Structure 1
Amino acid sequence: MATPFDPRAWPIALRVPLAVAALMVLVGIVLSERVLARLADLQEGQLREVARSYLDGLSSAVVPAVVRDDPWEAFDAIERLEALNKGLRPIETVVTDGGGRVVAASDPRRHAVGALYAPPASVPTGAAADFSLEADAESARAVRPLAYPGRTVGTIYAIFDTSHVAAERRDVLATLVATNVALTFALAAAGWFLVRRMMRPVAVLTEHLGAARDGRPTAIDPAVVERERGDFRRLFAIHNDLVQSIADREELAKRLAEEERLGSLGRLASTLAHEINNPLGGILNALDTLRRHGHVAQVRKTSIGLVERGLLGIRDVVQTTLALYRADAAPRDLRSADIDDLRLLAAAEARRRRVFIDGVTDIPPVVGIAGTPVRQAILNLLLNAIAVSPPEARVVLDVRRDGGELRVAVRDRGPGLSAEHARRLVRGGDVPLGSGGLGLWTTNRLVRDLGGRIEVGRPDGGGSSVVLRLPLKPSGELSDVA
């Protein structure tokens, strides 16, 4: 999981400038190192040439004095050469003989004539070294053997002040650092500004996609689309097309649900007509009996009872049908009586197919859930179970409260739902015109709108088991069912 300290969790408007800054720092380090290395090479080369020139002149002047062992002549030569090469900034010059004893020095009090001179250990010595230079931050040491035809008669040791060279190098380094820092901040700021500008369309798209996640997706303002160019304009147009497609799909879903609702009524129409015709036939027979034998008290009582029961049966069928298919003026919660009405509506179809309906209803008189979609979903499952069950089979409807959910289970003994129909019931999906399973798709739609879920199983005895789990409203939110 990404943490706030994980760069992957940072916004891209921050990561890109930081990446630019890091790249600039790396490039600045590499370029500064190469510039300083090149400057050091140039400075050392220039110092080497100047030191070689100084030692060449000094060796020519002091060789005769060293051969004759004349310290004063050698000292005079040293002073004259130092005066002529002030730009080289000599600090100390020592001339020794072949035995390493001082012949003359620019500072006689420090290096007395005749004293044994200990040269710096880092500077190579000997006849094989024509010239050598060893430089550090503040000084440079040079050595030149003094050659006389056929032999080496002494050595010149010189120390030069190179602090100005080090200062020049520090100035160059400071300039490079300041330039790199300024460029890094400037490019990082420019990168931040450009990325923010480039990411503005992404922010607009992200906002609309977030709104689509939380509710119904909304289209991007056409004026915003017109302001964009290139890929983002095409992306915005695709998003708006997608929003329109979703809206069209929602509208189609509503029409299909309404068509299925009416289709369920159509499938029940024939059985309802049979349910009404039977008591009507009995009523007509009773009226004919009254007309012929109404003077007999027992016949009159029996006939009137038959007429009353027939009319009550017709009233129950009509009221139940109206309760199921009438659009509620205001949403009301599910009642336990609604389940009994569903059994009554499905009973006629069950008798026509010689199927029995059993079940248990274990819920309070009023349940905190929208009644109309629940009734529609249960009726769809009941009719489907009756349609696939063989004669003399039993369809079981089990409705009970399970914690904070309403659990509705419908079991049949038919061949079982196919994989396609089970997927359509559980997951919904597209329903091509003319294909079967529209009732299952509508049931999925109704359950999904209620925030519930559907489980499909196959009992050991065969058939199918469909379980609806629907969340109930919290206590105190029941609709007014009075």
Structure 2
Amino acid sequence: MLTLQPSLPITLKVPLAVAALMMLVGAVISEQVLSRLAETQERHLAELSQSYLDGLSSAIAPSILREDNWEVFDAIERTQAVNKSLHPKETIVTNADGAVIAASNPKVHPIGTVIPVWRARDASNESFSFRAGADDAKAVRTLSYPGRVAGIIYATFDTRHLASERRDVVLALLLTNGILTSLLAAAGWLLVTRMMRPVRVLSEHLGVAHATSALPISDEIVAKTRGEFGHLFRAYNSLVRSMKEKEELAKRLAEEKRLNSLGRLASAVAHEINNPLGGMFNALSTLKAHGHLKNVRDVSLGLLNRGLVGIRDVVRTTLTVYRSDGATRDLQHADIDDLGLLIGPEARRKSVEIVIANSLNGAMPLPSTPIRQIVLNLVLNAVAAAPAGSVVNVAAAADDTGLSIVVTDRGPGMPPEAADILLSSSGSPPPYDGGGLGLWTISRLIADLGGTAVVQNPAIGGTVVSVNIPTATAELSNVA
């Protein structure tokens, strides 16, 4: 029984199965044909041999009683001449004691010679012996008269022509079965290949969808495909269009969420600017009223200077993070520290302290804008998850291989579905429900920079997000 390996494609499994089935059927049919041929040959030869023996028995009956050698020999010669189609090979006539009376070949079996023992055994059982494919057949006839055995006839017939006929039939069966098996296997391969062509097309498009993004099947292929596969192709294209629409919608939602976050941050920045303005106006009023006093003048000017510096830092940081001109600038030590000014109002609103451990020295050959966006979003998420009175730690370090950023909070821990979004590849579509768009944006920026992210939920609680960005990166496309 043929066992097909699971690794073989179906275009080979079906032809091999057809070939195996045809070989099995051919073997059964060949066995039946050869069996019937052997039965037909044996029956036909047995009938002819009995006719031969009947004629010879009638011709030698009076002579065998007298043991007239010449009459018996002459009868053998005449009978063989009449039955040439039977191909008589040898005929021996003996008396009851087994002594030869006459034979077709007197030189081999002289008169009076006792025949071999095997022929004597055959005399006790009148029979016809023939084996399919053998070169000869044997027949024995006992001549009996009332009360005694008068003699025995041994006849041998040449059956090489029957053996040749059998070989020709075997060869014809082998050739026929081989040709039919090859034709049916080839037809099965062609048929299955044609049937599997739509499946191959669909499989290739699904493979592309898994690697990058789903592409629709061309209208030309869909128009040529009929039946169930045509419906399947149209359904697949509808699914691809639906996925594209959802992806575009998700991108718009992400952009809207980014703008919404920018609005919240703008409100916080306005609040941060508005706070020192009140003190600055008070300082101006004091200067107008008591500017002639040196100590009052020094205190008021110092307050105005610190307020203006704070406002400048807040505006500069906001402009750096959200500029849209696509310009890139190397990452600086101050880029990480300035984020505390942006997130400070939100942290104070939630009573959360932000501790930044920044060990960067000088500039790093990394684009500052996307990295600041990554850190800003991670810290905002950490502040949102952190309980009141807790601390959010931000650590930034650099070495020869790249930049390492670790953000730690003491919240309930990042849910698995949110971690999956953060750790997804850049080719994955944004969440369709709109949730986790900030994390999806972070994952896209990290992937674009060639970096990696790791999320840990310590046993003591909270979340630790580690981001590693190598210094050797490809050119960054629009990530602002």
Please list, as runs of the form range in 1=range in 2, the aligned pairs for 1:426-445 lying within 5 A after superposition. 439-440=438-439, 442-444=441-443
2:391 aligns with one of 391, 394, 414: 394
In structure 2, relative to structure 1, the CA distance for the partners of 1:144 and 1:353 (3 Å cut) is same
In structure 2, relative to structure 1, the CA distance for the partners of 1:272 and 1:426 (3 Å cut) is same
Q: Quick one: distance in 1 between partners of 2:472 and 2:90?
A: 98
Asked if residue 287 in structure 1 is aligned to residue 277 in structure 2, the reply is: no
- Deviation of 1:105 after TM superposition, in Å, equals 0.5
Identify which range, 264-273 or 70-79, moves more after superposition. 264-273
- Deviation of 1:39 after TM superposition, in Å, equals 1.2
Aligned to 1:317: 314
Q: Quick one: distance in 2 between partners of 1:27 and 1:106?
A: 47
In structure 2, relative to structure 1, the CA distance for the partners of 1:270 and 1:366 (3 Å cut) is same
Aligned to 2:463: 465
Identify which range, 136-145 or 409-418, moves more after superposition. 409-418
1:52–1:131: 8 Å Cα contact kept in structure 2?
Answer: no
* Aligned partner letter, 2:106: P
Asked if residue 62 in structure 1 is aligned to residue 60 in structure 2, the reply is: yes
* 1:341-369 alpha-carbon deviations (Å, 9 max, x no partner): 32221122222322211133345655566
In structure 2, relative to structure 1, the CA distance for the partners of 1:466 and 1:443 (3 Å cut) is farther
Aligned to 2:75: 77
Q: Quick one: distance in 1 between partners of 2:243 and 2:468?
A: 25
* 1:240-265 alpha-carbon deviations (Å, 9 max, x no partner): 12221321232123123212212322
Q: Quick one: distance in 1 between partners of 2:176 and 2:460?
A: 84
1:98–1:152: 8 Å Cα contact kept in structure 2?
Answer: yes
* 1:412-462 alpha-carbon deviations (Å, 9 max, x no partner): 2233345665566556998675x8655445545555666655544333443
1:63–1:148: 8 Å Cα contact kept in structure 2?
Answer: no
In structure 2, relative to structure 1, the CA distance for the partners of 1:201 and 1:304 (3 Å cut) is same
Please list, as runs of the form range in 1=range in 2, the aligned pairs for 1:371-390 lying within 5 A after superposition. 371-390=368-387
2:272–2:345: 8 Å Cα contact kept in structure 1?
Answer: yes
2:72–2:101: 8 Å Cα contact kept in structure 1?
Answer: yes
Identify which range, 399-408 or 36-45, moves more after superposition. 399-408
- Deviation of 1:153 after TM superposition, in Å, equals 2.9
Aligned to 1:242: 239
- Deviation of 1:103 after TM superposition, in Å, equals 1.4
Q: Quick one: distance in 1 between partners of 2:446 and 2:286?
A: 51
In structure 2, relative to structure 1, the CA distance for the partners of 1:81 and 1:472 (3 Å cut) is same
Aligned to 1:108: 106
SS of equivalent residue, structure 1 residue 125: helix
* 1:40-74 alpha-carbon deviations (Å, 9 max, x no partner): 11111111111111112222323332322222121
SS of equivalent residue, structure 1 residue 159: strand
Q: Quick one: distance in 2 between partners of 1:336 and 1:28?
A: 84
* 1:67-94 alpha-carbon deviations (Å, 9 max, x no partner): 2222212111111111111000001011
1:134 aligns with one of 121, 125, 130: 130
Q: Quick one: distance in 2 between partners of 1:50 and 1:451?
A: 95
SS of equivalent residue, structure 1 residue 91: strand
1:407–1:467: 8 Å Cα contact kept in structure 2?
Answer: no
In structure 2, relative to structure 1, the CA distance for the partners of 1:413 and 1:162 (3 Å cut) is same
In structure 2, relative to structure 1, the CA distance for the partners of 1:456 and 1:173 (3 Å cut) is same
SS of equivalent residue, structure 2 residue 326: coil
* Aligned partner letter, 1:68: R
1:327 aligns with one of 324, 327, 336: 324
1:131–1:143: 8 Å Cα contact kept in structure 2?
Answer: yes
Q: Quick one: distance in 1 between partners of 2:79 and 2:386?
A: 123
Aligned to 2:152: 155
In structure 2, relative to structure 1, the CA distance for the partners of 1:51 and 1:269 (3 Å cut) is same
SS of equivalent residue, structure 2 residue 210: helix
1:217 aligns with one of 211, 214, 217: 214
Asked if residue 206 in structure 1 is aligned to residue 221 in structure 2, the reply is: no
* Aligned partner letter, 1:284: F
SS of equivalent residue, structure 1 residue 50: helix
2:449–2:474: 8 Å Cα contact kept in structure 1?
Answer: no
Please list, as runs of the form range in 1=range in 2, the aligned pairs for 1:444-463 lying within 5 A after superposition. 444=443, 446-447=445-446, 454-462=453-461
In structure 2, relative to structure 1, the CA distance for the partners of 1:403 and 1:211 (3 Å cut) is farther
* Aligned partner letter, 1:45: R
* Aligned partner letter, 1:118: P
Aligned to 1:353: 350
Identify which range, 231-240 or 363-372, moves more after superposition. 363-372
Identify which range, 78-87 or 329-338, moves more after superposition. 329-338
TM-score (normalised: structure 2): 0.87
* 1:359-401 alpha-carbon deviations (Å, 9 max, x no partner): 3334565556665444334323312222333333211112335
Please list, as runs of the form range in 1=range in 2, the aligned pairs for 1:241-320 lying within 5 A after superposition. 241-320=238-317
Q: Quick one: distance in 2 between partners of 1:95 and 1:226?
A: 88
- Deviation of 1:108 after TM superposition, in Å, equals 0.5
SS of equivalent residue, structure 1 residue 137: coil
Q: Quick one: distance in 2 between partners of 1:311 and 1:117?
A: 142
1:261–1:376: 8 Å Cα contact kept in structure 2?
Answer: no
Name structure 1 gaps, 5 residues minimum. Answer: 1-5
Q: Quick one: distance in 1 between partners of 2:378 and 2:474?
A: 30
RMSD, aligned CA: 3.1
Q: Quick one: distance in 1 between partners of 2:7 and 2:471?
A: 38
Identify which range, 17-26 or 358-367, moves more after superposition. 358-367
Q: Quick one: distance in 2 between partners of 1:260 and 1:243?
A: 25
Asked if residue 125 in structure 1 is aligned to residue 159 in structure 2, the reply is: no
* Aligned partner letter, 1:458: N
2:352–2:387: 8 Å Cα contact kept in structure 1?
Answer: yes
Aligned to 1:3: none
* 1:201-235 alpha-carbon deviations (Å, 9 max, x no partner): 22322332233233222111112111111121122
Q: Quick one: distance in 2 between partners of 1:366 and 1:63?
A: 132
Q: Quick one: distance in 2 between partners of 1:305 and 1:158?
A: 144
In structure 2, relative to structure 1, the CA distance for the partners of 1:41 and 1:210 (3 Å cut) is same
1:256–1:442: 8 Å Cα contact kept in structure 2?
Answer: no
Asked if residue 27 in structure 1 is aligned to residue 25 in structure 2, the reply is: yes
